[in-house]
Amino acid sequence: MYSASDLKKGLRIKLENEPYIVTEFNFVKPGKGQALYRSKLRNMITGAQFERTFRSADTFEPADLREQKMQFLYKEEQKYCFMDNESYDQVFLTEEQVGEARNFFIDNLEVEVLFFEDRPLGVTVPNFVDLVVVGAEPWAKGDSVSGKTKPVTLQTGYQIQVPPFIEEGEKIRVDTRSGEYLTRVKG
């Protein structure tokens, strides 16, 4: 059982017998008022989104979902293909179902595919993925102390803000949960 204070982005809960994922979440507390948990929820089957505000005392059941280790194989017309390494079973997910995880799909990446009963619903990538910078403006000397950032394009097409010293061809580690740059990876 979850309480409202357990809510966070990505948590899956069961409401009216359907699985929902929390897509946006914010703790709010109007001056001297009670804590409220403003959430946006997405129905994991229909994709329908809605906003809902919970109170501290509200409780939820976790959604009964199963995750299966699989490997990213390829993308074909808006469909993403994943394979079970033991049974060689393949499943497809739509662009919408993979969501922002698509920014991190490199060949053979090991992911967790989420099933509700036998239906694949979504995918989780590892927390940290190393990606190659394929497009970057060269570093203008003297920028390193300003705390400024610059945009680069990664091998998956993902655009990200990085420190100015990162150059094309380098590999960087990205935190897939926030989508933010973490560090430069040597070698």
Partner 1 sequence: MRDNWRLEKNRDALHTRARMIYAIRDFLVNRDYLEVETPSLVPSPIPEPHIDAVSCGDLYLHTSPELCMKRFLAAGYPKIFQICKCFRSGERGSFHLPEFTMLEWYCRGMDYRLLMEECEDLIISVAHNLGYGDIILYQGKTLSFRKPWEIISVREAFSRYAPVQMDDAVNEGLFDEFMVCHIEPHLGSGRPTILFDYPVSGATLAKAKEEEPGVAERFELYMGGVEIANACSELTDMKEHHVRIEKVQNYRDSMNKTLYPLAEHFLQDIANMPDAAGIALGVDRLAMIFSNASVIDDVVAFTPEFG
Query: Which positions lie near partner 1, rule CB under 8 A?
Result: 5, 26-36, 38, 53, 56-57, 147, 149, 163, 181-183
CA atoms of 117 and 33, how far apart (whole Å): 41
Nearer to partner 1, 149 or 155 (CB): 149
- 22 has which bridge partners? 41
Nearer to partner 1, 51 or 118 (CB): 51
E-assigned strands of the chain?
2-3, 12-15, 18-28, 36-43, 49-55, 59-62, 66-76, 79-83, 90-94, 110-116, 119-124, 128-135, 150-154, 159-162, 171-175, 180-185
DSSP 169: T
Q: How far is the CB of 43 from partner 1 (least distance, A)?
A: 21
Instruction: Write the CA distances from 13 to 59, 81, 110, integer angstroms.
Output: 10, 26, 25
Nearer to partner 1, 30 or 142 (CB): 30
Q: How far is the CB of 30 from partner 1 (least distance, A)?
A: 4
Nearer to partner 1, 14 or 38 (CB): 38
Q: How far is the CB of 50 from partner 1 (least distance, A)?
A: 13
Nearer to partner 1, 84 or 143 (CB): 143
CA atoms of 89 and 70, how far apart (whole Å): 9
Q: How far is the CB of 178 from partner 1 (least distance, A)?
A: 11
Q: How far is the CB of 107 from partner 1 (least distance, A)?
A: 28
